[in-house]
Amino acid sequence: MLTKKQRDLLVFIHEKMSDGDLAPSFDEMKDALDLKSKSGIHRLIEALVERGFLERLPNRARALHVRRLPEGYTPKAADHSEVAQKARIVTDLSSYRAQQDRQLISSIPLLGKIAAGTPIEAIRHDGQNIDMPSSMLGKGDFYALIVDGDSMTGAGILDQDVAVIKKVNTAHDGDIVVALVDDQEVTLKRLRRRGGHIDLIPENPDYEIRTFEGGRVQVQGILSGIYRQYH
């Protein structure tokens, strides 16, 4: 699920590249989305790469490749590019799957809140569950946490979103994880290992990277998806 800014940027990049291979510059993207700085564009691009909509190509200037377009996007009539054709297939397939999954709901435990900001003590609500579309879940054990804070907005994770977490105890560098610090604080951050230390990295320039000795941090899950309800 994309935010409006992420969707607008993805469509802008695609339409600018429809007549050639060169992606728009960061300045062009910034002006098109009416943002004040290019750092916001960088965070939006990282979120789109993470979600599989964009791909960075090595050793090329402005090295972006649009892998797929947002659901519901209709390419221009004159747009016969390979990406557009794939987008039509993806859109049709997504619509079909949506029809098939509309009545398929899974219930997973809602364990409480997780900080996307300064780590807070985990709040567990035993016995509470939340219904999720089955299409968001794969194999494995899952649970849900309510996001409290704004330190991960650059990854498209907003305050009060429901984070769907796959229960694991290991993760790769770059994964967004549920990290338990000192057996008492829990936070949602991007993971990076450096020697015997672990960095917990926010996706908001207003927050600083926090570094801990490896033994102080336990991975309790990796982010599988974000569920946002609009009221």
Supply the residues annotated as catalytic.
Answer: 151, 189
Nearest to 54 by CA among 39, 38, 70, 40: 70
Our measurement of the distance from residue 150's CA atom to the centroid of its chain's CA atoms, rounded to an integer in Å, reads 14
> Beta 162-166 vs 120-121: how paired, if at all?
unpaired
Q: What are the b/e assignments for 57-68, b being 16+ CB within 10 Å?
A: eeeeeeebebbb
Residue 54's SS3 state is: strand
Phi/psi region, residue 52 (left: phi>0; alpha: psi -120 to 50; beta: rest), is: left
Beta strands in 50-182 (DSSP E): 54-56, 64-66, 105-115, 120-121, 129-133, 142-148, 162-166, 176-181
